[in-house]
Structure 1
Amino acid sequence: MEIASVVGEPTIALVGLPGSGKSAIGRRLGQQLGWRFVDTDHCIEDRIGCTIREFFEREGEDAFREVEEQVLADLTSSLRQSVMATGGGSVLRASNRQHLRERTHVVYLRSSPEELLRRLRHDTKRPLLQVADPLQRLKDLHAVRDPLYREIAHTTVDTGRPSIAMLVSTIVQQLEDAGVVRQDPGRDAGPTG
C-alpha cells in the first residue's frame, strides 16, 4: 500500500556493509512508497554479462570498481522516485560518494560486524567474505567504510534485529521528518474498525 507521496523527485540510496539489508529493505521500501527499486549489483551484472563474483575473480577488484563507478554515475543522474540498493564498497571512491550525497537522499543501514556475520555466515556469493576469518574481514571493512557511510548519510538507521517491516516503517518516518516524502492525508494508511 502506498502511504507516502513524493516531495520533489528524489532517489533514496541505501548504503551499508554487506548483509546490512540494503536489497531486502530497499525492495520493501520501494513497495511501500510506490517507487521503483533498483539494485546496483544487478545493473552491474547486466553491464558485465556475468556475476560479480566471476568478474571479481577474472578481472580483479579495481576493474570491478571502475564498472561500479560508471553504473552509479549513470543511475544517480537518471533515476527519479526510486529506491536504490548500492554495493557495500561503492563508497570507496570519492566520485561515488559525491554523486550519492549530492544526487540522492542517502540512508545508512548501520550494522555491527557481529550482526552481519550472523546474517552472512552461509553466504557464498560475496567475494570479499570468502576468507578464513570472515568476522575479522567484516571488522576491517567496518573500520574503513563506516566513516565513509557516515560522511555521506542524510539519515542513519541501526538495523540490529528489528524486522524488515519495522525498519521500513522507521525509514519512512525519518524520510517524512526530513521532508523527502510526506504522509498522504487523503489516503487511509490502514484498516479501520
Structure 2
Amino acid sequence: MVSKIILVGMMGAGKTTIGKLLSNKLDYDFIDLDKTIEEKSGVKINTIFEIEGESGFRERELQVLNDSILKDKVIISTGGGIVTNEKSRTQLIKHNALIIYLKANHQTLCNRLKNDNSRPMLNVDNKEQVIERILEEREPYYQDLADMEVDTSQMKSIDVIKFIIEKMDAK
C-alpha cells in the first residue's frame, strides 16, 4: 500500500474534502498545506499574499511541503498553485508518493467558487476569466505530475473515494 498520497488540482476541485474523507477511510493522517501555513504564520493566506506577494507565499508553501512529505501514512492536500513553483514540483515527485490530480471542468469550478472570497487570486470581478486562465496555465503541470486523474465534476465525494481506492487496489 502507498504510504503517501498527494492531491493536486485547481481550487474548488475538492482536494480538502476528498483528502479528509480518504484519510478517514485509509486511517492516514491528513495535512492541508494551506491550513498548515495559516496555523504556522498566525494569519490568513489572503494576508500573506497582501504582505509578501505570491512568491513569499510559495516559499512558505514549499517549507510546509518539505516538512509534511517526510511523514508516512499521510494524505497531503496541496494548494492549487503549488505546481507553479519548480522546487515544489521537484519535491512532489521525489518522495515516491501517489500523486492524484483531482480535476473539474471550468463551469464546475466557477459554480463551486462563485461565492468564495477566501482565495486571494479570486478577489476580482471577473472570476470566471481568472479561473479559465489559471486552469489553462496549471493543467499541464497537474497532468505531468499525476499518477492518477479523477474528474470530480459530476461525481459525489463518496464515489471519488471509492474510485481512488479501487484504482489503488488494482496497482
Taking the TM superposition and a 5 Å limit, the aligned residue runs for 1:1-193 are 7=1, 10-76=3-69, 78-103=70-95, 104-178=97-171
**Tell me, what secondary structure is at the counterpart of 1:37?**
strand
Look up the SS of the partner of 1:60 in the other structure. helix
**Offset, 1:102:** 2.2
Cross-structure match for 1:188: none
SS at match of 2:101: strand
Report if the CA contact (8 A) 1:101-1:153 is conserved. Answer: no
Q: Distance in 1 between matches of 2:53 and 2:59?
A: 10
Q: Which of these two proteins has the greater Rg computed from alpha carbons?
A: 1
The whole-number CA distance in structure 2 between the counterparts of 1:43 and 1:79 is 14
1:119: how far off?
A: 0.7
- Whether contact under 8 Å (1:20, 1:110) holds in the other structure is yes
Q: TM-score, normalised by structure 1?
A: 0.85
Q: Equivalent residue of 2:16, what SS?
A: helix
Output the CA distance in 1 between the equivalents of 2:93 and 2:83. Answer: 10
Q: What code does the residue aligned with 1:98 have? A: T
| Larger relative helix fraction | 2
The number of aligned residues is: 170
- Distance across 1 between alignment mates of 2:28 and 2:167: 17
Q: Which amino acid aligns with 1:34?
A: D
Structure 1: which 4+ aligned runs deviate by more than 2 Å?
none
2:45 aligned partner, one-letter code: I
Deviations 1:16-52 (A, max 9, x none): 0000000001000001111111101111112222111
User: Does structure 1 retain, via aligned residues, the 8 Å contact 2:100–2:147?
Assistant: yes
What SS is found at the alignment partner of 2:75?
A: strand
Check whether the contact 2:31–2:68 (CA below 8 A) recurs between aligned residues: no
Worse-superposed segment, 127-136 or 15-24: 127-136
Structure 1 unpaired stretches of 5+: 1-6, 179-193
- Report % sequence identity: 34
